[in-house]
Structure 1
Amino acid sequence: MKYPVIVVPFLKVSGMALFPFILVGRRIDINDPVLINHEKIHLRQQAELLVLPFYLLYLVNYLLNLAVYRNREQAYLNIIFEREAYRHEADGLYLQSRKWFNWRRYF
């Protein structure tokens, strides 16, 4: 599925999935297949959870990780949704074979 990619110059991160859009900080990032695939994985996760529950689970998982790791970067990298996305971001075919709710494997 094709998702609209929007350049948001003031974005503090390289990319962000905000269903149904992919936001990137720089125009050049539109052509970064790894970044775009990472965000597409997040869009699939969001669709599976009907969007709002995704954001709630994401936030709760981050806060729990923050209590465990006491480090913002480690807390972020260990969010279950991020673990799946980072693990498969370089595999351009991943979404074609990905099973529904596969993010559950990263608990």
Structure 2
Amino acid sequence: MKVFYTKHLPVKGFKAINLFGFVFARREFYPIKKDVLRHEAIHTRQILETLIIGFYVWYIIEWLIRWMQYKNPSLAYRNICFEREAYAYDQSMDYLQRRPLWNFIKFLKKEQGSNL
């Protein structure tokens, strides 16, 4: 996975963003930590499973729904099923080798609440 270090991507408050399988990380986080790379690798798998553009459409729609649900954009972000799967397994070095196809779906039903 190719990592590009930039000044403006992602926006402040985030370490990295995965755009079409390329990771953009803020310069101040160089070198990016392994758990962040695993998190973004999980997103790459999700992106491929949802045929690329489907990931971004689903991501935005779910974020908007969660924002209405929680009335908090940060909490909405943390409860997107793609993010919940990535955060749940970014410490696991072998997760992608054993990950079931479309595993993010199971994170639609479980809600994390405000303890994130």
Classify 1:31/1:63 alpha carbon distance in 2 versus 1 (closer, same or farther; 3 Å): closer
**How far apart are the structure 2 equivalents of 1:74 and 1:27?**
24
**How far apart are the structure 1 equivalents of 2:40 and 2:27?**
15
Classify 1:92/1:56 alpha carbon distance in 2 versus 1 (closer, same or farther; 3 Å): same
Classify 1:72/1:92 alpha carbon distance in 2 versus 1 (closer, same or farther; 3 Å): same
Partner of 2:89: 88
For residue 17 of structure 1, give the secondary structure of its aligned residue in structure 2.
strand
- What amino acid is aligned across from residue 26 of structure 2 in structure 1? G
CA contact (8 A) 1:29 1:35 kept: no
**How far apart are the structure 2 equivalents of 1:93 and 1:70?**
35
- What amino acid is aligned across from residue 6 of structure 1 in structure 2? F
Normalising by the residue count of structure 2, what TM-score does the alignment of the two structures yield?
0.85
Partner of 1:22: 23
For residue 16 of structure 1, give the secondary structure of its aligned residue in structure 2.
strand
Say whether 1:33 aligns with 2:17: no
Cα deviations by residue, 1:34-63 (Å, 9 ceiling, x for unpaired): 001001100100000111010000001000
For residue 46 of structure 2, give the secondary structure of its aligned residue in structure 1.
helix
Instruction: Give how far 1:8 is off.
Output: 1.3
How much identity, in percent, do the aligned residues show? 33
Q: How does 1:9-88 map to 2 (within 5 A)?
A: 9-11=7-9, 12=11, 13-26=14-27, 28-88=29-89
Instruction: Give how far 1:28 is off.
Output: 4.2
- What amino acid is aligned across from residue 84 of structure 1 in structure 2? E
Structure 2 runs not aligned, ≥5 long: 109-116
- Count of residue correspondences: 105
